[in-house]
């Protein structure tokens, strides 16, 4: 099956756009706000206009690697090589559409009942759009369906289920019992001036309905108070190499990854060493420091790990430390056995700014991405988690300056693990 994220599915309607937007800016901003899929729905355009718009929207979707679905028109979908088409009960029959489109394309089918949904699945649909959940001015001829029917559909289908019709910040929480794969939205995105923020709020509200079934922790600065150790590592690094960073540079260093620090230092001090040799030196110095120093867990960390284990929540680590480093600190602090998987970005050659490492952890834990939360102190290392559709909780750490560009990605912010918010809202849901 095609690996598509249906979480936040923006269905366009040019007539509804807020006056500060064009179709293109609206789609681009929805994507920046976390929309995972776009449907171009043009009910009044000529074929030429539809085609021209589709070409432009395809370029935006390709730029961000977001799937583009064309509403109703198989010819337009094929002409622009869209990812798929969405068909209603009165549109082209599914079997014919599949013959024309081929197996590689996504075909979504509108359904209002379990019977329709089962027929769509049997006929080879890739997903179903279920609605209208609530009456809506955007499509006045849609039959209403209930949350109960939606839940039945989700429980009886293997293919993804998205809800449509009157979905907004107020109605999303009611969808929770169905635990569907995503929401398809027109007006609650199109009509907003601040599309980025509106989309983000809708997505976060939707993601909150997923119970946390797995928690991923970063190590340095998040689970462990190891930042003073890294002060010493930096000092020893400067002494060993006979170099000196300015105060300003030291501030910036806390926001850099190891590779970036190596490249920066080698260039600045014209060091006669490779990035690999620089990393080996840091590794050696940090291993010494980890071995010789007292290492403290962040306040409340042990209690939280015990609590999560008892609740059957899967636990993982995503760290930039390699095995030799993390084994020392996790063993010294007595927490190494809590984790079902420890993923080192260095050992796996995957960046935390990329979603790959989070997809890897989710697969190994056998927990869907939507049910995972990532605790991290460095926002720069958190973009991958958001790209993978995880919830994100930042554990404040004074060493990191933060980055306003990424601030909007944060779902929760805490100072340490004693914060009641973790137990009352982040991990345990209040019904
Ligand atoms: C995701 C999704 N679900 C349902 C629809 C409605 O399709 P349809 O019934 O064909 O109505 P129109 O959108 O064509 O007016 C949809 N477009 N997307
Ligand atoms: C396009 C569409 N299809 C529906 C269905 O029930 O199949 S409801 C709908 C319109 C959804 O718009 P809004 O998010 O503004 O309510
Ligand atoms: Mg249609």
Query: pLDDT digit string (tens) for 28-56?
Result: 999 998 899 999 998 999 999 999 999 99
Instruction: Report whether 225 contacts 325 (CB < 8 A).
Output: no
- Nearest-angstrom CA–CA distance, 406 and 409: 6
The 3-state secondary structure of 372-421 reads: EEEEECCHHHCHHHHHCCCEEEEECCCCCCCCHHHHCCCCEEECCCCCHH
Instruction: Report whether 380 contacts 404 (CB < 8 A).
Output: no
Q: Whose CA is nearest to atom 11 of ligand 2?
A: 165
Helix (H, G, I), strand (E, B) or coil at 127: strand
Which residues fall within 8 angstroms of residue 194, CB to CB, at 6 or more apart? none
**pTM attached to this predicted model:** 0.78
Helix (H, G, I), strand (E, B) or coil at 171: coil
Which residues fall within 8 angstroms of residue 235, CB to CB, at 6 or more apart? none
Active-site pick, 53, 73, 105, 110 = 110
Query: Has 418 been labeled as part of a binding site?
Result: no
Helix (H, G, I), strand (E, B) or coil at 9: strand
- Give yes or no: 41 in active site: yes
Query: Has 42 been labeled as part of a binding site?
Result: yes
- Nearest-angstrom CA–CA distance, 51 and 328: 59
- Nearest-angstrom CA–CA distance, 213 and 176: 16
Cβ of residue 164 lying under 6 Å from some atom of ligand 1? yes
Which residues fall within 8 angstroms of residue 131, CB to CB, at 6 or more apart? 110, 112, 142, 144, 145, 163, 164, 165, 166, 184
Residues around ligand 3, an ion, CB closer than 5 A: 72, 88, 91
- Nearest-angstrom CA–CA distance, 18 and 310: 49
> Average pLDDT per run of 10 along the chain, which is 431 residues long?
83 94 96 94 93 97 95 98 97 97 97 98 98 95 95 97 98 95 97 94 88 92 90 93 92 82 93 93 94 94 94 94 95 97 94 91 94 88 85 79 64 88 71 38
- Nearest-angstrom CA–CA distance, 21 and 19: 5
- Nearest-angstrom CA–CA distance, 63 and 264: 29
- Give yes or no: 110 in active site: yes
In terms of DSSP bridges, do strands 161-164 and 182-185 run parallel, antiparallel, or are they unpaired?
A: parallel
Query: Has 110 been labeled as part of a binding site?
Result: yes
Exposed (0-12), middle (13-18) or buried (19+): which is 420, by Cβ within 10 Å? exposed
Ligand 2 pocket residues where CB is under 6 Å: 11, 110, 129, 131-132, 136, 138-139, 142, 164-167, 185-188
Please choose, from the candidates 380, 408, 396, the residue with its C-alpha nearest in 3D space to the C-alpha of residue 260: 380
- State residue 258's pLDDT score: 81
Instruction: Say how many C-beta atoms besides its own lie within 10 A of residue 384's C-beta.
Output: 22
- Give yes or no: 344 in active site: no
Instruction: Report whether 13 contacts 41 (CB < 8 A).
Output: yes
Please choose, from the candidates 355, 391, 389, 374, the residue with its C-alpha nearest in 3D space to the C-alpha of residue 6: 389
Please choose, from the candidates 376, 374, 353, the residue with its C-alpha nearest in 3D space to the C-alpha of residue 365: 374
| 209 Cα: distance to centroid of ligand 2 (angstroms) | 21
């Amino acid at each position: 099956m095609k690996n598509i994220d249906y979480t936040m599915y923006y269905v366009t309607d040019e007539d509804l756009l807020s006056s500060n937007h064009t179709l293109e800016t609206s789609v681009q901003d929805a994507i920046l706000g976390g929309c995972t899929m776009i449907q171009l729905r043009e009910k009044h355009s000529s074929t030429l206009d539809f085609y021209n718009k589709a070409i432009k929207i395809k370029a935006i979707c390709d730029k961000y690697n977001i799937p583009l679905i064309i509403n109703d028109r198989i010819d337009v979908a094929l002409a622009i090589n869209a990812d798929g088409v969405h068909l209603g009960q009165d549109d082209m029959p599914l079997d014919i559409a599949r013959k024309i489109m081929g197996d590689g394309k996504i075909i979504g089918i509108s359904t209002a009942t379990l019977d329709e949904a089962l027929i769509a699945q049997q006929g080879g649909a890739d997903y179903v759009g279920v609605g209208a959940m609530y009456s809506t001015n955007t499509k006045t001829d849609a039959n209403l369906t209930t949350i109960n029917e939606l839940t039945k559909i989700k429980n009886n289908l293997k293919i993804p289920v998205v809800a449509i019709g009157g979905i907004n910040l107020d109605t999303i929480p009611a969808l929770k019992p169905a635990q569907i794969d995503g929401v398809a939205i027109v007006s609650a995105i199109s009509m907003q001036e601040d599309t980025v923020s509106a989309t983000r709020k809708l997505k976060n509200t939707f993601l909150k309905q997923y119970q946390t079934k797995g928690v991923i922790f970063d190590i340095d600065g998040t689970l462990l108070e190891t930042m003073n150790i890294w002060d010493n590592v930096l000092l020893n690094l400067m002494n060993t190499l006979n170099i000196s960073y300015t105060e300003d540079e030291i501030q910036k260093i806390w926001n850099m990854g190891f590779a970036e620090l190596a490249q920066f230092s080698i260039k600045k001090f014209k060091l006669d060493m490779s990035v690999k040799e620089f990393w080996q030196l840091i590794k050696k110095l940090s291993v010494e420091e980890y071995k010789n120093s007292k290492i403290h867990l962040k306040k409340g960390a042990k209690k939280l790990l015990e609590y999560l284990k008892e609740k059957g929540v899967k636990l993982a680590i995503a760290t930039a430390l390699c095995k030799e480093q993390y084994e020392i600190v996790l063993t010294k602090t007595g927490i190494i056995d809590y984790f079902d998987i420890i993923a080192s970005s260095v050992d796996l050659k995957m960046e935390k700014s990329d979603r790959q490492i989070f997809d890897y952890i989710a697969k190994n834990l056998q927990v869907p991405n939507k049910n995972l939360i990532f605790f991290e102190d460095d926002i720069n290392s958190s973009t991958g988690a958001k790209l993978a559709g995880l919830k994100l909780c930042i554990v404040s750490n004074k060493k990191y300056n933060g980055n306003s560009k990424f601030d909007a990605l944060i779902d929760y912010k805490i100072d340490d693990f004693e914060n009641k918010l973790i137990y009352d809202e982040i991990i345990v849901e209040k019904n």
